[in-house]
């Protein structure tokens, strides 16, 4: 019962922190509900962005994958993510924040609608983003349920015999969804930011603590690694030596770099970027994010490898054969530590899975601003109505996502790769819209269509996610998606009419500013493009 009590105490703490955001700081306006009035400072932005990106895919999924595929998972996931994420925050996040601040954007759809002067493109992109976010939400719901079930085994042997006395995954994940619903419903983005700050703080503290406590039970890092070297040496080799299926080939390792590009198109991350107070707020995010990833992910990878060969004193394996990868981390901590440590780590893992709050609010914001407000008009829906709409949609989205999670067949890791690959396929669109003046509406639409078609074809070829090791031509599917999407965007843009000069000038004002400073002909007295709401 101890891990369960500690997790429940954390959930109550989370509700209290969420209430602080609503009662103590909220301005009770639509801008505050959806974007915290764009007032988040450097520390809060760092913690919320990190807390949002550290999902059950990162912790629960990576530990399970490391237990079967070995040490290469760290380089595959953590190293690439640390480098690519920070690059996207710098190249994409700051630029989007700048445009969002100037034109009042709340969602990605508003930016792309204005950038390409095309409501049709926005409506084409909207369902794709929604369909990619929903699996991301399911990833976190599945991860929370699997973790709670693993660390509470034996708590209720009379009631839950099918799960060896542990809280069933459906009940644990349902409780997490209810807690998230309560504080997001009450305080919106401000409560969410405070909650994500708490999530991130716990992850950073518990990452190293979990590693030290568990490896003590395994006889120390040297003894644990020596046992792996004796019984499963393949787990210490990244390359495909001996053609072992679980090993990571060179092309798979290299092309996995395309998967973290997904952060450039996450709707929920876009929404967090819009909350920044200034451009300087991004500095610690860019610099410290890779370090935080190392602190949290390295212990999970090592624990996954050691779990593959860990046994009790009687010779029974700590992780029974046939255990789902999603449950490896929870079982390892529960079986090799005391109930207090298991409870603490259970809190940390559940904390990571609760980044689904950002996805809930992002979906609510998209439906509110990009569908309902556009349909009925800006003037007819005021602040109060937008808050009511946002809250109502949060309730509906949480309910739908929870029901879908009950029938989701794939593992956390497999779902995550395909979800992120879809977002990665849209990365050329956002990059070109920020840095290439010649990109056209036709090129953007063709790129979106190509990304969707290639994603569906490759997903079907993988057995709709049934094959977690599926590669296309020896590469990660995301590589094919990104390359085909980028080529389509460039080729179609080059053969279609260039965008209007006033549109280019609106989104590339630096040329006018440079001309003014250099006193070039026609630049004196030039006025900036008018600022309009998205």
Q: Quote the pTM value.
A: 0.85
How far apart (Å, rounded) are the C-alpha atoms in residues 246 and 298?
A: 20
Query: Alpha carbon of 330 to those of 179, 345, 348, 368, 422: distances in Å?
Result: 21, 8, 11, 38, 29
How far apart (Å, rounded) are the C-alpha atoms in residues 483 and 171?
A: 42
CB-based contact 213:341 (threshold 8 Å): yes
Q: Which domains does the chain have, with CATH numbers?
A: 2-22+40-409 (1.20.1730.10)
Check residue 319 and give its pLDDT.
76
Torsion on CA atoms 325, 58, 434, 512, rounded to nearest 10: 180
Query: Alpha carbon of 218 to those of 207, 226, 301, 312: distances in Å?
Result: 17, 11, 15, 10
Check residue 334 and give its pLDDT.
67
How far apart (Å, rounded) are the C-alpha atoms in residues 340 and 520?
A: 70
Helix 267-274 / helix 119-151 crossing angle, nearest 10 deg: 100
How far apart (Å, rounded) are the C-alpha atoms in residues 383 and 32?
A: 10
Check residue 312 and give its pLDDT.
63
Closest CA to 329 of 352, 354, 356, 349: 349
Question: What residue ranges of the chain have pLDDT lower than 50?
Answer: 240-243, 513-534
Q: What is the pLDDT of residues 438-474, one digit of tens each?
A: 999 999 999 999 999 999 999 889 887 777 778 888 8
Q: What is the pLDDT of residues 237-255, one digit of tens each?
A: 776 444 455 577 888 889 9
How far apart (Å, rounded) are the C-alpha atoms in residues 227 and 229?
A: 5
How far apart (Å, rounded) are the C-alpha atoms in residues 168 and 153?
A: 9
Check residue 118 and give its pLDDT.
92
């Amino acid at each position: 019962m101890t891990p369960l009590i500690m997790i429940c105490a954390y959930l109550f703490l989370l509700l209290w922190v969420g209430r602080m955001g609503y009662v103590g700081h909220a301005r009770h306006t639509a801008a505050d509900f959806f974007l915290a009035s764009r007032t988040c400072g450097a520390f809060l932005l760092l913690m919320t962005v990190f807390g949002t990106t550290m999902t059950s895919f990162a912790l629960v999924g990576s530990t399970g994958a490391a237990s079967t595929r070995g040490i290469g998972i760290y380089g595959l996931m953590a190293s690439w993510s640390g480098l690519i994420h920070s690059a996207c925050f710098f190249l994409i996040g700051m630029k989007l924040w700048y445009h969002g601040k100037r034109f009042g954007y709340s969602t990605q759809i508003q930016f792309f609608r204005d950038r390409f002067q095309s409501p049709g493109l926005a409506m084409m992109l909207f369902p794709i983003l929604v369909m990619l976010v929903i699996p991301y939400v399911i990833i976190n719901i599945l991860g929370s349920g699997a973790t709670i079930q693993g660390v509470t085994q034996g708590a209720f042997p009379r009631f839950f015999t099918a799960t060896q006395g542990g809280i069933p995954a459906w009940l644990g994940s349902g409780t997490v969804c209810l807690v998230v619903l309560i504080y997001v419903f009450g305080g919106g983005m401000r409560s969410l930011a405070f909650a994500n700050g708490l999530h991130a703080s716990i992850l950073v503290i518990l990452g190293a603590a979990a590693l030290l406590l568990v490896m003590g039970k395994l006889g120390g890092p040297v003894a644990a690694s020596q046992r792996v070297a004796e019984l499963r040496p393949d787990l210490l080799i990244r390359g495909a030596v001996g053609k072992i299926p679980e090993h990571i080939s060179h092309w798979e390792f290299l092309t996995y770099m395309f998967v973290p590009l997904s952060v450039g198109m996450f709707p929920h991350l876009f929404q967090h970027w819009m909350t920044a107070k200034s451009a300087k707020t991004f500095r610690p995010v860019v610099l410290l994010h890779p370090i935080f990833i190392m602190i949290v992910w390295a212990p999970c990878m090592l624990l996954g490898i050691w779990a593959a060969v860990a046994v009790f004193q009687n010779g029974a394996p700590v992780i029974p054969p046939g255990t789902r990868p999603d449950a490896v981390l929870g079982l390892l901590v529960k079986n090799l530590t005391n109930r207090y440590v298991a409870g603490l780590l259970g809190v940390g893992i559940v904390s990571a899975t609760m980044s689904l709050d950002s996805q809930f609010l992002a979906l609510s914001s998209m439906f509110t601003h990009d569908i309902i407000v556009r349909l009925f008009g800006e003037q007819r829906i005021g602040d109060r109505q937008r808050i009511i709409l946002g809250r109502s949609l949060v309730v509906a989205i949480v309910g739908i996502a929870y029901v879908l999670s009950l029938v989701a067949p794939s593992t956390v890791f497999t779902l995550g790769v395909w979800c992120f690959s879809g977002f990665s396929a849209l990365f050329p669109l956002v990059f070109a819209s920020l840095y290439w003046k010649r990109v056209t509406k036709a090129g953007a639409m063709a790129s979106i269509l190509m990304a969707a078609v290639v994603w569906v074809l490759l997903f079907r070829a993988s057995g709709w996610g049934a094959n977690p090791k599926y590669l296309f031509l020896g590469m990660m599917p995301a590589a094919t998606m990104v390359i085909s999407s980028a080529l389509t965007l460039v080729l179609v843009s080059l053969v279609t009419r260039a965008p209007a000069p006033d549109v280019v000038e609106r989104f590339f004002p630096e040329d006018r500013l440079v001309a003014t400073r250099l006193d070039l002909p026609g630049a004196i007295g030039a006025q900036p493009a008018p600022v309009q709401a998205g």
